[in-house]
Amino acid sequence: MAYSLFNILYKLRSIPNFSSFISSGIHSHTFLLEDLFFILNPYSMKYVITGGAGFIGSHLAEDLIDSGEQVIVIDNLSTGSLSNLSGISSNDKFRLIISDVRSVRHWEDILDGNTIIIHLAATVGVNKVVCNSLETLENNFQPTLTLLNQALPLGCKIFLASTSEVYGESTGVCSSESDPLIVPSSHCGRSAYTLGKLTSEHYCLNYSRQFGLPVIVARFFNAIGLNQIGNYGMVVPTFVRQALAGEPITVYGTGNQTRSFCNVKDIVRAIRQLLQTDSAYGQVFNVGGSESITITELATYIKRVTGSSSPIVYKPFPPHRSLGKDILHRKARLDKICSVAGWKPLTSWHTVIDEIIDHQKVLLQSRPREQYAYV
């Protein structure tokens, strides 16, 4: 696609708005030329990752940059962190816009027909969701609509990160994309997350059906890996922190509830494989681990590998979990993504947990204790 003189002049006119781009290490006089090249280069694909400073987003951004791709991250840093992007922030092909998706102005400077949008930005974590349920509901569908409307005239591909939570209280041991969904009660704060994501799914699939927009929806199941923080209740970073600090490892309920944890690196590979698969567009896919373990097994393993003296203690579900009915068993059927995109998880849960523990031990040795409130 060649750019007309009009397009170039139009984009030149709006360059001052790029003050919102953080471009570390680039002096102002070179900034203009480099950004011009970055924006106007019509021949390569460009990835826009919302929530790209977060756990999954930062792994994805790094992977794309390592493959030589152009990446623009849009993140309001509500739960994401600049430190997650420190490895790529000075790369010429990387740009960061610190903003909520709904507040971004001048989309014409960000998107073109070669842009792939990967929408990961969301309010996440059971604790945060329950304490901010109205904000969660809005955050988890309004930005999707903003992105769809911006993508529509350009025909940008959109990848939506949805969640296994949409299966709600479905009773099947293994959830399949075609299963009926049992939507949780509106009285429970946790359902704001589910309903926000489900609404996003509906918007995406309707834009695909009615307008032919190329959209993929993926339901992620319990991602784990480096850079995941435990502040909002996620079990693996919480247990690792407790074990390394010698504090009680707090298992909620009987500990017989099961999860199939998935390495974030496998998730990144799933996103990239799906985006490259023409027949994946317009469809929903589960992305998760293939092995189920109980939460007691998880606690026992983390205690053993860390060599911790922490006791494993069983506690009642905290109110925000029991009100929302903690999901007993959660596992993905993966036949669909395997047959359509040839993807399956490659890492076992204990390999990822070993990696997390090793990483946290190194961080503990290099950081003063007070900065280590959460892993």
Footprint of ligand UDP on this chain (CB under 6 A)?
126, 222, 233-235, 238, 250-252, 257, 259, 295, 321, 326-327, 330
Helix ranges (H only) for the chain are 5-13, 28-40, 55-66, 126-131, 133-139, 142-151, 191-211, 235-245, 264-275, 295-306, 319-323, 335-341, 349-366
Asked if 314 is an active-site residue, the reply is no
d(CA 65, CA 67): 5
Based on CB atoms, which residue is closest to ligand UDP, 257 or 283? 257
Look at phi and psi of residue 175 and say left if phi exceeds 0, alpha if psi is from -120 to 50, else beta: beta
| Nearer Cβ to ligand UDP (126/161) | 126
The single residue of 10, 43, 47, 193 carrying the catalytic annotation is 193
> To which residue do tokens 């059906």 refer?
209
Q: Is 37 exposed, middle or buried (0-12, 13-18, 19+ CB in 10 A)?
A: exposed
> Cβ of residue 244: shortest distance to ligand UDP, in angstroms?
14
CA–CA separation, 288 vs 330, rounded Å?
10
| Closest distance to ligand UDP from the beta carbon of 15 (Å) | 43
Nearer to ligand UDP, 61 or 234 (CB): 234
Is 273 in contact with 341 (CB distance < 8 Å)? yes
- Least separation, in Å, of the C-beta of 375 and ligand UDP? 12
Taking the least distance from each CB to ligand UDP, the nearer of 85 and 327 is 327
CA dist., res. 330 & res. 43, Å (int): 43
Shortest separation between residue 324's beta carbon and ligand UDP, angstroms: 9
Positions marked active-site = 193
